[in-house]
Structure 1
C-alpha cells in the first residue's frame, strides 16, 4: 500500500516521494530502502553487525526485549534485509537473514557482557536510528557513528554523578517527610555507598556483594546517630535515612524492563531479568539484616517502622518537590542529556503529586503508586517524541522516588526481630510490580495515541512544492 501511494504520487504530480521532513506529524514516514545483493555475504554481514551493535546498546541500557527486537529488525529492513528473524534473550541478540530457498541464511549474534546506566548513549543511538531512516546513510557511515557513541566518555565527570546520587537520596528524604538532618545524612550516606560500590566494582566484585555492601552501609549512619539525635528534637528518623539508601540501590535495577518483557510477550527474558532483580534486591536485604545484627552487638537498637507515618494534605507540596528532585538527580546520575533533565524533573513531580493525592483517599497505596506510574509512562511516551528523548529515560526517572524502600526496611526489620514483616515484604513486591506495570501501560497508551495514519498524498505534495 505504501509503495502504491508513493508511485501514484510520482506519476500524478511528478514529485519526489515524501520524506520525514515533508509529511505532517502523525503520518506514516516512508522509510527509504537501499537495495542489497543477497549473494553479497560481506554486505549482509555488515548490515547484521550494525543492527546487532545498535540492539546491544539498547539492551544494555535496560530497553525491553520486544522493543530491542523491533529496532534491530527495523535497521535490517532499512538496508534491504526484509526476511530476518531476531531473537533477544537476557544478554544475547541473535539475528538470521534468510536469502531465499537457494542460498543459505546468514546468522550473527552479539552478547551484552555488562549493564550500564548511560542514558546519553541510549538517546544518541535512538537518534542514529532516526537518521538511518531519514537519510538512508551507508552501513559504513553508521558503523563509524556507533563507534563514536560507544567509545565516547560520559557527558559529565564522575564526581558529578556521585553527588547526583547523594542529591537523589536527599530528594527521597524530602519525599518521605524527613527534616534537614535526614536530608543531609541521607546525602552523605548515599555518596559513601556509591563510592564504595564503585571501588568494589573496580576490583571485579560481583554485583550481588556490591548490593549487600550497600545495604550494610545504609544502616550504619542511622544507627550511629540515633542514640545521639533521638531526643534532640530535630526530627531525626533513622528509618527514613535507611529507606533513602535502599531506594538509591534499587534504582539501578531493571525492574521496568523485567515486567515489560513479561507483559509484552518475552517471558523467558522477563523471567531472567526478574530473577536478576530479585537476587540483587536480596543482596540489599541481606546487607540490611547483617547491619541490624551488627549494631545490635553494641546494644544499638533501631526503631521499628511498624506503620507509615501519618500523611495529610499539608505534606503534598514537600512530596512533590522531593520527588521532582529525586527524579532529576537520578537522570543526572545516569548521565542523561541536558535536554532530558527538565523532563525527568517534571515526571518526578507528576508521579509524586499523583501518589500523594491518591494517598489522601481510601484507594490504598498500591493503587496510588500504580496509577502514578501509568501517568508517568503516558507523559514520558508522549513527551519523548517531542524532546527526542527515549521514553525509558523519563519513565524510569519518574518512578524512582516511588520505589518501596520503607516497605522493604519495615519487612526486613520485622523478619529479623520476630515481629512479623511478611506483609510488608509482600506489599513492597506488589508496589514494585505495580510501578513497572503502570509504566508499561502508560507507554502502550502513548503509542496508541500517536499511532501513525496513512499519509495524505495531497498534503505531502503541497509541502514539497
Structure 2
C-alpha cells in the first residue's frame, strides 16, 4: 500500500513540474528592475518597417520592367503593321540629310546601263550583282497594268528559249543571260535562272512575303543548227530592245516558227561537206590530189555509216566508232596497195572531221566562267566521243599492222610546206565545217575568212618563227575568238557561228593520229606523249577562244556609273563571276 502511495506522489510532482513552476521558482526567475530588456529570438534591421505602419503590398509581375518602359498613364500610339520589302528605302532615310549608316560620304553608286551595250553584257552585269543591288527594271514589253505580267507564261517562254540555246551548243553563261533578259523584259524582276547540262530552272519571287514560283525544263535532245541558234538570238534581242514591241503571243508564234524551220542544207550536202572537209585536212598535212580524193571518199562513207547507226537509234558513241572506222580502213587499204599514197594523211584528214571541237570549246568556256558542273558534263561527253574515235581507229590499225601495212608516223612528221595551197585548204576546211554546222548562208563567208586568218597566224608563228605549236595555236585561237566576238556583237547574234568553224584548221588531228598509231604499234610511251600533246593543243584552242572573247569586251563602252550625290561619274569595277580576289 505504501509503495502505491509513493508512486502516486511522484506522479503528482511530475505533473506539477510539467504544468508550471512553483512560487519560489517563479520568484527566482524574475529579472531585476534595472536589467536590459531581453533580446528577440530573431533580431530586426534598422531598415525594417516600424510597428504600426503597414508596408505596401508588392505586386508580382510576370516580367520585370525596364527604365526605358513607357510610364503609366502615357498611351503609346499604335501603328498599323504594313508589309514591307527588304528592297524598299528605310523610313528614316532622307536624301538631303542622310545618316552615314545608309549612305557613304561619296554617295551610293547607281548603275546606269547604256542601251548601246549588247544585251549579253547588260544581263551578265546584273546577274553577277546581288538581288538587292540590281537596278529597278524598266519594263520593255507591255502587259496588263491591273493584273501584271502573266508569270507562268513568261517563265514557260523563258525556259523554252533557254532550251533551244542550250541544245544548240551555247555556253551556260549566255543561256542564263538570255533567260534573265526575257524575264526582265516582261516585268519579272527578282528572277534567278539556273543552267546545268540537262536541266534548266528559273525561280521568281514577287516579294519577300510571297511564295516563290519555280519552273524547270529538261533538255533531252541536242542538235547542231546554228541557223536556228541565230534566230533565237534575234528573238531575244527584239524582246529586250525597247524599240521593238513583242507581245507574249508574238514571241510564242516566232518561237514556233523557229522550231518548224527546216535546216538550210539537205542531208546530201552535209555528206559532201564532210568529204571535202576531210580532203582539205589531208592537204594541210602534206597530201596530194590522190590523198584528197581518198580522204573525201572515206569521210563520206563514214558519215553514211554514222547516219545509219543514228537511224537505228544507237547512241552517239557507236556512231563515232562507225564513222572512224571508214578513214582508217581506207588508209590501211592504200598502204597495202602498190600505190605511192601517204595513207597516214588520209587517216588524219578523216579524224579532222570527227574531233568534237564545238563541244570542247563550250566545255572549257563553261569551266572558265564558273559553271563547273556543266563544264564537267560537257568535257565528259567529249571524252566519250574521243574514246569512240579511238576505238574505231585502233580496231582497224591493229588489223592493218597484223596484215603488214606500212604505217609509220615518219611519213607525216615532215609535211611539205606549201603556204598558198595550205591556206586555200584551211579556208575550204572552215567553209565545209560551217555547212556541217548548218550555219546561215550570210555567215559562211565571214567564218571562212576567219579560218584563213587563223591558219595564217599559226603558220607564221609555228612554221616560220618556229614558236612552240601549243603557244602558236593559242594565239591563233585567241584571234579567232576576238574577231568572232566582234562580228557577233556587230550583228547582235551568237558568237558560235563565227568561231566554231574557224578553229577547224587548228584541231589536233595529226597529233591524235600519231598517238593512236603509236599505241597500235606497241609504243605506249610515245603514244601517251603524243596524246598529251593533242590534249594540250585542244585546251589551247578552247582557252584562246575564250580569252579572245574576253578581250573583245574591252573595246566596248563600259557602262558608266553615277553617284547618288552630285559627284563626278566613274567607272564601276566588273563584278566577280566566281570566287576570287
TM-score bucket of the superposed structures, by smaller chain = 0.7 to 0.9
How many Å apart are 1:308 and its aligned residue?
5.1
Tell me the TM-score normalized by structure 1.
0.87
Q: Does 1:319 align with 2:422?
A: yes
How many Å apart are 1:397 and its aligned residue?
0.6
- Aligned counterparts of 1:104 and 1:332: Cα–Cα separation in 2: 48
- Aligned counterparts of 2:231 and 2:368: Cα–Cα separation in 1: 27
Q: Which residue of 1 aligns with 2:342?
A: 237
- 1:45-101 deviations in whole A, cap 9, x for unaligned? 111111111111111111111111111111111111111111111111111111112
Q: Kindly tell me: are residues 389 and 81 of structure 1, through their superposed partners in 2, closer, same or farther at Cα, counting changes over 3 Å?
A: closer
Q: Which residue of 2 aligns with 1:343?
A: 446
Q: Bigger shift: 268-277 or 160-169?
A: 160-169
How many Å apart are 1:156 and its aligned residue?
1.8
The one of 283, 294, 298 equivalent to 1:189 is: 298
Q: Which residue of 2 aligns with 1:164?
A: 273
Q: Which residue of 2 aligns with 1:119?
A: 226
How many Å apart are 1:34 and its aligned residue?
3.7
Q: Does 1:49 align with 2:153?
A: no
How many Å apart are 1:158 and its aligned residue?
1.4
- Aligned counterparts of 2:165 and 2:409: Cα–Cα separation in 1: 39
Q: Secondary structure at the match of 2:192?
A: strand
How many Å apart are 1:438 and its aligned residue?
0.6
The one of 161, 170, 175 equivalent to 1:63 is: 170
- Aligned counterparts of 1:100 and 1:184: Cα–Cα separation in 2: 66
Q: Secondary structure at the match of 2:407?
A: coil
How many Å apart are 1:307 and its aligned residue?
7.8
Q: Kindly tell me: are residues 181 and 229 of structure 1, through their superposed partners in 2, closer, same or farther at Cα, counting changes over 3 Å?
A: farther
Query: Higher RCO, 1 or 2 (CA under 8 Å, sep at least 6)?
Result: 1
Q: Does 1:273 align with 2:406?
A: no
The one of 242, 262, 277 equivalent to 2:367 is: 262
Q: Which residue of 2 aligns with 1:221?
A: 330
Q: Which residue of 2 aligns with 1:283?
A: 388
Q: Which residue of 2 aligns with 1:425?
A: 531
Q: Kindly tell me: are residues 25 and 435 of structure 1, through their superposed partners in 2, closer, same or farther at Cα, counting changes over 3 Å?
A: closer
- Aligned counterparts of 1:430 and 1:37: Cα–Cα separation in 2: 55
How many Å apart are 1:327 and its aligned residue?
0.7
- Aligned counterparts of 2:331 and 2:145: Cα–Cα separation in 1: 65
Larger helix proportion of the pair: 1
- Aligned counterparts of 2:118 and 2:535: Cα–Cα separation in 1: 40
1:407–1:427 Cα contact (<8 Å) kept: yes
Q: Secondary structure at the match of 1:250?
A: coil
How many Å apart are 1:316 and its aligned residue?
2.2
Q: Does 1:332 align with 2:439?
A: no
The one of 495, 519, 526 equivalent to 1:415 is: 519
Q: Does 1:105 align with 2:212?
A: yes
- Aligned counterparts of 1:302 and 1:211: Cα–Cα separation in 2: 25
The one of 292, 295, 311 equivalent to 2:400 is: 295
The one of 280, 283, 288 equivalent to 1:174 is: 283
- Aligned counterparts of 1:407 and 1:414: Cα–Cα separation in 2: 11
- Aligned counterparts of 2:117 and 2:150: Cα–Cα separation in 1: 34
2:478–2:545 Cα contact (<8 Å) kept: yes
Could you tell me which runs of 5 or more consecutive residues in structure 1 were left unpaired when the two chains were aligned.
1-17, 456-465
How many Å apart are 1:398 and its aligned residue?
0.8
The 5 A counterparts of 1:126-165 are 126-134=233-241, 135-165=244-274
Q: Does 1:373 align with 2:486?
A: no
How many Å apart are 1:211 and its aligned residue?
1.0
- Aligned counterparts of 2:357 and 2:256: Cα–Cα separation in 1: 25
How many Å apart are 1:38 and its aligned residue?
11
Q: Which residue of 2 aligns with 1:435?
A: 541
The 5 A counterparts of 1:64-103 are 64-103=171-210
Q: Bigger shift: 419-428 or 39-48?
A: 39-48
Q: Which residue of 1 aligns with 2:461?
A: 358
Q: Secondary structure at the match of 1:191?
A: helix
